[in-house]
Amino acid sequence: MDEYYIIAGLGNPGRKYDGSRHNVGFDVIDELVDRFRISGPVRFGKSMTGKGVIGGRKVILMKPLTYMNLSGEAVQEIVSYYKVDPADHLIVISDDIDLPVGHLRIRKKGSAGGHNGLKNIIQHLGMSEFTRIRVGVGGKPDPGADLANHVLGHFTGEDKTVIEEACRKAAEAVECILEQGPDRAMNLYNTAKQKKKKDSAGPADGGGDEAVAERKRGQGAAGSEGLSDSAGDAKKSEEICPL
């Protein structure tokens, strides 16, 4: 166990965003905290963090406190401080409106796919070669619905049960990546492709639809107490946006 692995779950700080579609990255971090008894939380610059061991690897779990559109500031801060290579030692967990609810897609590199959190991380790191786990939260209920309301909204009914299971699977996928590598995790946890339906949320796996995702999202869109930000810690300004 030498270098730390950075596990970043994306979301928005503040209790009003807890449990929202845009905060599933935070929810996966909370699952990891509980499952592996991660220490913390500790404030580190622009993040809440915790340290521990997963799959025999030293890890730092983090929740950016910057709001979604500035996630790269927090990730870059920790990556630089611990001098890790993002290509090998960074895993980012985010929501994806272009995957059906509960579906997972693991990739070792790629574009932001319209997600402002991933976009900002790529911008600050100057590279897109890092492992990411996307958790499907489903598309808008109808084409005319407001995207912000959708992603900042909360799961209900069966979707709530499905997303809770998806967060557990995503946590298992993190452990698999650390123990056996991302290729093995992709084989085990990527949800099989489904035939695309009209006005559906999009494909569940594969990398050919990133451009479609970019157009659909326009602007990217938003935990439990595992690494809580205490609701009031994050800076607020007109430059900060939960989308």
HEC per residue, 143-208: CCCCHHHHHCCECCHHHHHHHHHHHHHHHHHHHHHHHHCHHHHHHHHCCCCCCCCCCCCCCCCCCC
Please report which confidence band the pLDDT of residue 221 belongs to, taking 50, 70 and 90 as the band edges: very low
H/E run at residue 107: strand 104-107
- Look at residues 101, 65, 111, 73 and name the one whose alpha carbon lies nearest to residue 233: 65
pTM of the model: 0.83
Give residue limits of the domains in the chain: 5-217
Residue 237 pLDDT? 38
Q: Which of 22, 89, 103, 124 is catalytic?
A: 22
pLDDT of residue 2: 75
What digits encode the pLDDT tens for the residues 97-139? 999 999 999 999 999 999 999 999 999 999 999 999 999 999 9
pLDDT in tens, 140-167: 988 889 999 999 999 999 999 999 999 9
Q: Is position 22 annotated as part of the catalytic site?
A: yes
Question: Side-chain half-sphere of 223: how many Cα atoms within 13 Å?
Answer: 29
- The answer as to CATH 3.40.50.1470 being correct for domain 5-217 is yes
79 three-state secondary structure = helix
